[in-house]
Amino acid sequence: MATCEHKATRVVLSGSDANLAQLRDLLPRDLQDKVVGQISLDMTASPAQVWDRALEVTLAAQRQAEADLLDQVVTVAHKGGAGALGLEDTLAAMQQGRVYQLLVDREFHTPGYQCSVCQAVVTQVLPSCPYCEGALRETADIVNLAVQRAVDAGLKVSVLDHSPQITGIGGIAAVLRY
């Protein structure tokens, strides 16, 4: 007997309105909480058509969740809470180990400097690393370095597409641990 090793993170339901209402009530609570939408399809829809529509709904739900998170980060940061906005603040929070989740505009790239000792990433040329006094070397894209450091550290990273809000706050933000 085969077992499923995959854990559902998002669920899209399809069926008639009456059937969907009944199905939702029958789902375990943890699956109910993962429902991100529903779709209406003809009974003769191919598996590829089902997949395409479900993917469309899932991606829209993900984009909305990321936009909502960004709204929260901006609000919290403006109130002096656990959020970082813009490149300088976000890089400093990363170096301090305070970042929980990184949010970055897919199109945001900028040159800067990286420490050859502690790997800190900074935006401006300085005589030495502000964290360890190590030598700084110029790099073509410190945003990609920051994303790579976040991934290496096991942090959540959300890459946002076509988000005027992330662009307006400097292309990068972070949810902070404290």
Residue 114 and residue 33 share a domain: no
State mean pLDDT over 54-81. 94
DSSP, res 106:
T
* Integer angstrom CA distances of residue 25 from 9, 14, 36, 58, 60: 19, 14, 15, 21, 24
Residue 15 and residue 33 share a domain: yes
Residue 82 and residue 137 share a domain: yes
Residue 107 and residue 27 share a domain: no
| pLDDT tens readout for residues 26-46 | 999 998 899 999 998 888 989
| pLDDT tens readout for residues 97-134 | 999 999 999 999 999 999 999 999 999 999 999 999 99
Residue 59 and residue 77 share a domain: no
pLDDT bin (cut points 50, 70, 90) of residue 4 is low
State mean pLDDT over 157-169. 91
DSSP, res 135:
P
Residue 161 and residue 109 share a domain: yes
**Please, which residues bridge with residue 38 across strands?**
13
State mean pLDDT over 143-148. 96
Rounded to whole angstroms, the Cα distance separating 121 from 142 reads 7
Amino acid found at 95: Q
Give the pLDDT of residue 5. Answer: 66
Give the pLDDT of residue 1. Answer: 45
Residue 169 and residue 89 share a domain: yes
Give the pLDDT of residue 41. Answer: 86
Check: pTM over 0.75? Answer yes or no: yes
Residue 129 and residue 168 share a domain: yes
Report the candidate in 116, 161, 31 with the shortest Cα–Cα distance to residue 171: 161
- Residue 101 falls inside a structural domain: yes
Q: What's the mean per-residue pLDDT of the chain?
A: 91
Rounded to whole angstroms, the Cα distance separating 78 from 123 reads 22
Which structural domain, as residue segments, surrounds residue 41? 11-66
